[in-house]
């Protein structure tokens, strides 16, 4: 099943769409945002230099910092009365990244999410259990709208409350599950602990999983334990949210909806293009966004592109499941976190630079975050209560600023591992 026949267009036809949309987008950002105008001027280019999609490499890159520098609405190209939705993700210095959508942007988001659900065979006969978090995070509402668009019945259960979710999936007869892969496994574990017979009790047939890096082994485990088709979804709020690409049932590669989001692979250091089939950093240009168009956005995700035909009939370019990061971004239960953000919170809590280490590990199928903090003479106090309060206030600030739950552990000075004198900041035991 294909939602929109454009997904199966011939190469030339697609390039024509991309070219005209790119020209329009470039014109838009050049005229409406001083940020892009300055960047274009610096590089000595004007919109007239962009005649087709092949000219895209002439354009400047943009990065997450650009969004932060222009917080909150500096890169928007429409007045706020045209913006119908805002989403945001956690930020380094207490300032989050904000993204906005016009009515037309919402239509595009619904459209690409409808394509995703159709890839997973979802129709109005289906009951979609959506366990992605609802709120500022784009996951919950993004999946929700797409499922509604294809006419399915949506259960907006959001995250948490595992046992109740398992009960609802069983009682409502959910046929499609949308969640992070680790939460899907966590629910399976909870269900089997409760002695529920999977084959008899659940009607689940397919799942749309994403928002966190997932090994091949983990995907196979999710597919096997639930006995379902595994569809991987990819997206990021800076581009649209979930719905940039998704895998069909014929392969593990993800079809990118390139009539809306134009992908390139570049060398993360030099920015030079990398040929198809080779890994590099994924760069995306939004071709239809109105509120917040973005030019050549460096996602930080490492992947490769394939243009070989797919059995499903879709002709759109496919990307490999993300294999890593070009920077030190961590993904904790679907939430993006940079070590510098954690450092900032720690420093702010006590007004001191403390020696710390971030340890990520799995408890069952969920990510757990421990933050070890060395107790130096500067924070040593002769009171258990005060030391515990310090711990709690750091935990509280991490939750408030970065939306992550962490367990702060106070450790002795110089007990954090060092490599050539420098403390090792991140230990990821999930791998």
Partner 1 sequence: MKYAIQQLSIFIENKTGELTDITEILSKNKISLKAINLVDTTEFGILRLLVDDAQSTKRILDNNGFSLTITDVFAVSIEDHIGSFNEVLSLLSENNINIEYTYTINCSKNGAFIFKVNPDNFKEATKALAKSKVKLLESI
Contact residues for partner 1, defined by CB under 8 A = 375-377, 379-384, 387-388, 409-415
- Residue 372 CB, nearest distance to partner 1 (Å)? 10
- Residue 411 CB, nearest distance to partner 1 (Å)? 6
Calculated CA dihedral for residues 240, 299, 11, 20, nearest 10 degrees: 60
**Strand pairing report for 422-423 and 418-419:** antiparallel
- Residue 36 CB, nearest distance to partner 1 (Å)? 51
Each residue of 57-90: b (16+ CB within 10 Å) or e? Answer: eebebbebebbbebebeebbbbeeebbebbbbbb
153-156 β-sheet, strand order: 153-156, 127-130, 176-179, 206-210, 229-236, 241-247, 254-256, 318-319, 305-306
Please identify, using beta-carbon distances, which residue of 307 and 414 lies nearer to partner 1.
414
Please identify, using beta-carbon distances, which residue of 323 and 380 lies nearer to partner 1.
380
CA gyration radius, the chain: 23
Please identify, using beta-carbon distances, which residue of 37 and 391 lies nearer to partner 1.
391
Task: Answer for the pair 102, 78: CB distance below 8 angstroms, yes or no.
Answer: yes
Please identify, using beta-carbon distances, which residue of 364 and 376 lies nearer to partner 1.
376
Please identify, using beta-carbon distances, which residue of 196 and 411 lies nearer to partner 1.
411
Task: Answer for the pair 47, 80: CB distance below 8 angstroms, yes or no.
Answer: no
Query: What distance separates the 2 farthest-apart alpha carbons in the chain?
Result: 73
- Residue 387 CB, nearest distance to partner 1 (Å)? 7
How many whole angstroms separate alpha carbon 261 and alpha carbon 173?
35
**Alpha carbon 190 to its chain's center:** 26
| Paired strand residues for 209 | 179, 232
Please identify, using beta-carbon distances, which residue of 17 and 375 lies nearer to partner 1.
375
- Residue 346 CB, nearest distance to partner 1 (Å)? 17
- Residue 98 CB, nearest distance to partner 1 (Å)? 38
**Alpha carbon 234 to its chain's center:** 7
- Residue 353 CB, nearest distance to partner 1 (Å)? 16
Please identify, using beta-carbon distances, which residue of 106 and 379 lies nearer to partner 1.
379
Q: CA end-to-end span of the chain, whole Å?
A: 36
Please identify, using beta-carbon distances, which residue of 45 and 410 lies nearer to partner 1.
410
Sign of the CA dihedral 122, 128, 130, 134? positive
- Residue 427 CB, nearest distance to partner 1 (Å)? 17
How many whole angstroms separate alpha carbon 257 and alpha carbon 87?
21
């Amino acid at each position: 099943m294909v939602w929109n026949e454009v997904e199966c267009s011939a190469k030339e036809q697609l390039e024509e769409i991309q070219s005209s949309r790119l020209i329009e987008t470039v014109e838009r950002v050049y005229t409406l945002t001083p940020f892009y105008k300055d960047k274009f001027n610096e590089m000595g280019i004007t919109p007239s230099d962009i005649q087709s999609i092949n000219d895209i490499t002439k354009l400047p890159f943009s990065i997450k910092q650009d969004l932060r520098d222009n917080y909150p609405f500096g890169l928007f190209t429409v007045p706020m009365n045209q913006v119908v939705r805002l989403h945001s993700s956690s930020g380094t210095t207490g300032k989050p990244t904000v993204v906005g959508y016009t009515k037309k942007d919402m239509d595009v988001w619904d459209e690409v999410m409808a394509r995703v659900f159709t890839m997973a065979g979802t129709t109005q006969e289906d009951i979609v259990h959506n366990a992605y978090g609802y709120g500022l995070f784009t996951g919950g509402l993004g999946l929700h709208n797409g499922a509604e668009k294809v006419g399915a019945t949506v259960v907006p259960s959001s995250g948490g409350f595992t046992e109740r979710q398992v009960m609802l999936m069983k009682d409502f007869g959910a046929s499609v599950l949308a969640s992070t892969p680790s939460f899907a496994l966590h629910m399976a574990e909870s269900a089997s602990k409760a002695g529920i017979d999977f084959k008899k009790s659940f009607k689940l047939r397919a799942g749309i999983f994403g928002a966190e890096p997932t090994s091949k082994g983990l995907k196979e485990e999710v597919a096997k334990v639930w006995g379902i088709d595994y569809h991987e979804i990819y997206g990021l709020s800076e581009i649209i949210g979930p719905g940039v690409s998704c895998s069909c049932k014929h392969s593990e590669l993800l079809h990118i909806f390139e009539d809306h989001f134009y992908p390139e692979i570049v060398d993360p250091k030099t920015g030079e293009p990398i040929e198809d089939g080779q890994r590099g950093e994924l760069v995306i240009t939004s071709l239809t966004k109105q509120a917040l168009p973005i030019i050549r956005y460096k996602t930080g995700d490492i992947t490769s592109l394939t243009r070989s035909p797919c059995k499903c009939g879709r002709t759109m370019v496919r990307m490999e499941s993300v294999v890593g990061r070009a920077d030190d971004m961590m993904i904790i239960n679907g939430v993006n976190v940079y070590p510098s953000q954690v450092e900032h919170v720690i420093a702010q809590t006590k007004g001191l630079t403390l020696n710390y280490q971030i340890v990520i590990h799995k408890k069952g199928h969920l990510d757990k975050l421990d933050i070890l903090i060395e107790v130096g003479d500067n924070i040593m106090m002769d009171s258990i209560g005060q030391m515990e309060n310090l711990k709690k206030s750091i935990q509280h600030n991490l939750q408030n600023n970065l939306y992550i739950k962490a367990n702060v552990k106070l450790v002795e000075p110089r007990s954090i591992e060092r490599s050539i004198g420098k403390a090792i900041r991140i230990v990821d035991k999930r791998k």
